[in-house]
Structure 1
Amino acid sequence: MFYKLQDKPPMGITTLSVLQWMIVTVSSSVAVPLMIGDMYGLQADEIGKLMQQTMFYIGLASLLQVWIGHRYPMIEGPAGLWWGIFIILAQLGTSMGLHPQEIGQSFQVGMILAGLLFFIFGLLGWIGKLQKWFTPLVSGTYMILLAVSLCSNILTGMLGIGFQHSREVQPGVALVSIGIVALVVFIMRTKRFSSFAVLFGMVGGWIVYALLGWTEPVRPTEQLFSWPSIFFWGPPRWDWGVVLTSMLTGFVLLTNLMTSLSVMGKATDTVPTEKQYNRGGIFTGVSHFLSGLSGVVGMIPLSLAAAVIQTTKMASRLPFVIAMLGMMLIGLLPTVAHFLAALPTPVAYAAMFISYTQLLGFGLKDYVNVKMDERTVIVGGSSLLVGIGVMFVPAVAWQKLPALASFLFGNGLLLGVIVCLVLEHIVFRKKEEDSVKKDGQAA
């Protein structure tokens, strides 16, 4: 590790690290408001406003966490589960005659209630106690399934599928993506600039796209400055299906909080304390409350931040704090937000490819630290097979089920982790005597 959490790098290195954190944060979040806007039928101006809201509140939530929350430089970004639920329920709601905006109004209520769940659990100190549920086998399963669930989107993006509305592989885009990955790997192998490999990869790729004429024009704006608003989708609206799904999602995302902090601890060579878990839970609740209040997709600590630190060997809080202040500023400046939204998505996927491989690495390392006996093979193997298998089931196959069941059985990551928790702690629960005996032998 070149710079640890409390270190203050020189000004030049800090500046480059700030830019890298900002670009990583934007690239990992920019697709979410664009896809949600398209799915919910928003106009270009409305999508731009949702983009600003997202950037501002990501900066604010992340700043609160690193300042008085869990204290790790970890991005509070749109959760994949929330993103998926937004899309699934938009499809289900439309089939039931609901207007997409009504679903968005109900989501605002659901995320606020999910935030209260996190806040109460953290305030009562229950999150730290729940840590023992997330053994290396559970966290390893989570990270492996997360990497597998992301790989399809990553490779699809790198091949140019979906870029500029293309439904086919674009050879030119694919070749440039391979070149960006090669550039990132090359820079990582240099001692002087390895910390900024992702940054250089994104900037270099964007320049190539601009020279080839593949970049989208920046949307014009009439305002130079605008404050974030509340209840983007309109007045809150109660819908039992959406609210219950949101509460269930909030409880399940406790898994993400546990594993993300655990992975960040490994990336920064530290051990998260029970107090950090509880504070992280409290301010993840605050993040969800802010998400519901503003109408953006629910935010959680992203494990991607740990992968970036593992790749760049820089864990200093200072550049991260400045970067999150910069994100808040972007959320106040429509022109800047729209310019950053013009970053070609294949460039972002390609530049982040090596960082995504770190997520898989964390999971494999957890599995290596577990004794591979018959119990481990059954628990881990069953969880991975169920999770990965469900990922191959077409989404339309679940549409006739109730919304809650469709959400649960249609999400391989969620289902795999739940199966692992059940097998690890209920079906194949280790006897207390065995644990005591092992502890005695270790002593």
Structure 2
Amino acid sequence: MKYGLYDRPPAGTSILAALQWMIVAVSSSVAVPLMIGDIYGLQVDEIGNLMQQTMFFIGLASFLQVWIGHRYPMLEGPAGLWWGIFIILAQLGSSAGLHPREIGQSFQVGMAMAGVLFLLFGMMGWIGKLQRWFTPLVSGTYMILLAISLCSNILTGMLGIGFQHSKEVQPGVALVSIGIVALVILIMRTKRFSSFAVLFGMVGGWVLYAIFGWTEPVRPAEHLITWPSLFFWGAPRWDWGVVLTSMLTGFVLLTNLVTSTVVMGKATETVPTEKQYNRGGIFTGVSHLLSGLSGVVGMIPLSLAAAVIQTTRMASRLPFMLAMIGMMLIGLFPLVAHFLAALPTPVAYAAMFISYTQLLGFGLKDYVTVKMDERTITVGGGSLLIGIGVMFVPAAAWQHLPPLASFLFGNGLLLGVLVCLLLEHVIFRKQDDETKKKDGHAA
């Protein structure tokens, strides 16, 4: 590790590292408001406003976490589970005669209620106790399934499928993606610039796209500064179904908070304390309250940050804090937000490819620390097979189930981790030391 959590890199290094964090934050979250805007039938200017809201509150929530929360340089970003539920309920609401905006109004209340749940768990000190459930076998399963669940989107993006509305592989885009990956690997092998490999890969790829004429023009901004607003979707609206679904989703996401903190501890070569888990839970609650008040998709700590640190070997909090201040500024200046949103998605996927491989590496390292006996193979193998198998089941097969159930059983990552927890701690639970001693004395 070149720079630890509390190291202060030189000014130039800090600025470049902050810029890299900003680009990673933008590239990992820019697609969500675009997708939500399309499904909810928003106008172009409304999508732009939602984009700015998202950027500002990602910066604010992440800054609060690294400053007084869990104190790790870990991005808060739109949760895949949240925007998946967001999309499913929009489709179900439309079939029931509800306007999509009404679903958004109800979600604002639901996310705020989920925030209260996180706050209570954190203040009662329960999240720190939950981390004991996340053994190397559980966290390893989580990281392996996370890498596998991402690989389809990563490779699809690198091949140009979906870029500029293309439904086929674009050979030119694929070749440039391979070149970007090679550039990132090459820079990583240098001692001087290895920490900025992802940044240089993204910038180099963006320049190539501009030369080939594959970039989209930057949309003009009507105002120089636009301040964040409350209740993007309109006045809060109570809907028991949406609120209950949101509360259950928040409870399920507690597993993500714990596993992300565990993985970040390994990436930064530190051991998270129980206080860090609980503070992280409190400020994840704060970020959900902010999401509810602002109307953006609920935010959670992203394990991707650990992969970036592992790739760049820079865990310093200072550049991350500067980057999150920059994200808040992006949320205030429409022109900057529009410019960064113009980053071609295949470039982002290609530049981040090596970072994504680190996620799989974390999982494999966890598995190596566990004795591969019959119990371990049954628990780990069963969890992985169920999680991976569900990923191949068509999403339409679950649509007849209630919204939360359909997303739970259709989400291989989440289901695999829950199965692993059940097998590890209930069905194939190990005897603790005290029980073994009692058994020994009895014998």
Same fold (TM over 0.5): yes
Percent sequence identity over aligned pairs: 84
Q: Secondary structure at the match of 1:249?
A: helix
In structure 1, C-alpha distance between the alignment counterparts of 2:159 and 2:228, rounded to whole Å: 35
Per-residue deviation, 1:32: 0.8
Per-residue deviation, 1:434: 7.3
In structure 1, C-alpha distance between the alignment counterparts of 2:99 and 2:420, rounded to whole Å: 37
Letter in structure 1 aligned against 2:182:
A
Q: Secondary structure at the match of 1:225?
A: coil
In structure 1, C-alpha distance between the alignment counterparts of 2:429 and 2:267, rounded to whole Å: 29
In structure 1, C-alpha distance between the alignment counterparts of 2:151 and 2:329, rounded to whole Å: 32
In structure 2, C-alpha distance between the alignment counterparts of 1:360 and 1:382, rounded to whole Å: 18
* Match status 1:218 vs 2:218: yes
Letter in structure 2 aligned against 1:12:
G
In structure 1, C-alpha distance between the alignment counterparts of 2:399 and 2:304, rounded to whole Å: 31
In structure 2, C-alpha distance between the alignment counterparts of 1:334 and 1:116, rounded to whole Å: 31
* Match status 1:201 vs 2:201: yes
* Match status 1:245 vs 2:253: no
Gaps of 5+ in 1: none
Letter in structure 2 aligned against 1:78:
P
Say how many residue pairs are matched: 439
Equivalence for 2:258:
258
Equivalence for 2:69:
69
Q: How does 1:44-123 map to 2 (within 5 A)?
A: 44-123=44-123
Q: Secondary structure at the match of 1:4?
A: coil
1:149-189, Cα deviation, whole Å (9 max, x unpaired): 11111111111111111111111111111110010001001
In structure 1, C-alpha distance between the alignment counterparts of 2:114 and 2:345, rounded to whole Å: 30
In structure 2, C-alpha distance between the alignment counterparts of 1:318 and 1:152, rounded to whole Å: 34
Equivalence for 2:171:
171
1:303-337, Cα deviation, whole Å (9 max, x unpaired): 11110000000011111111100000000000100
Between 400-409 and 320-329, report the one with greater CA deviation. Answer: 400-409
- 1:137–1:366 Cα contact (<8 Å) kept: yes
Between 65-74 and 98-107, report the one with greater CA deviation. Answer: 98-107
In structure 2, C-alpha distance between the alignment counterparts of 1:162 and 1:93, rounded to whole Å: 27
In structure 1, C-alpha distance between the alignment counterparts of 2:53 and 2:435, rounded to whole Å: 49
Q: How does 1:368-379 map to 2 (within 5 A)?
A: 368-379=368-379
In structure 2, C-alpha distance between the alignment counterparts of 1:432 and 1:318, rounded to whole Å: 42
Equivalence for 1:293:
293
In structure 1, C-alpha distance between the alignment counterparts of 2:296 and 2:67, rounded to whole Å: 22
Letter in structure 2 aligned against 1:50:
L
- 1:241–1:403 Cα contact (<8 Å) kept: no
Residues 23 and 124 of structure 1, relative CA distance in 2, 3 Å threshold: same
- 1:241–1:404 Cα contact (<8 Å) kept: no
Q: Secondary structure at the match of 2:77?
A: strand
Q: Secondary structure at the match of 1:179?
A: helix
- 2:70–2:277 Cα contact (<8 Å) kept: yes
Q: How does 1:137-156 map to 2 (within 5 A)?
A: 137-156=137-156
1:384-430, Cα deviation, whole Å (9 max, x unpaired): 11111111111111111222221221111111111111111111111
Letter in structure 1 aligned against 2:41:
G
In structure 2, C-alpha distance between the alignment counterparts of 1:436 and 1:89, rounded to whole Å: 49
- 2:20–2:198 Cα contact (<8 Å) kept: yes
- 1:30–1:341 Cα contact (<8 Å) kept: yes
Between 222-231 and 245-254, report the one with greater CA deviation. Answer: 245-254
Per-residue deviation, 1:435: 7.4
Between 150-159 and 428-437, report the one with greater CA deviation. Answer: 428-437
Equivalence for 2:334:
334
Equivalence for 2:423:
423
With the length of structure 1 as denominator, give the TM-score of the two structures: 0.97
* Runs of 4+ deviating beyond 3 Å: 433-437
* Match status 1:412 vs 2:377: no
In structure 2, C-alpha distance between the alignment counterparts of 1:265 and 1:436, rounded to whole Å: 31
C-alpha root-mean-square deviation of aligned residues, in Å? Answer: 1.4
- 1:92–1:399 Cα contact (<8 Å) kept: no
1:121-155, Cα deviation, whole Å (9 max, x unpaired): 00010110111111111111111111111111111
In structure 2, C-alpha distance between the alignment counterparts of 1:339 and 1:197, rounded to whole Å: 22
In structure 1, C-alpha distance between the alignment counterparts of 2:178 and 2:94, rounded to whole Å: 39
In structure 2, C-alpha distance between the alignment counterparts of 1:244 and 1:5, rounded to whole Å: 38
In structure 2, C-alpha distance between the alignment counterparts of 1:390 and 1:246, rounded to whole Å: 23
With the length of structure 2 as denominator, give the TM-score of the two structures: 0.97
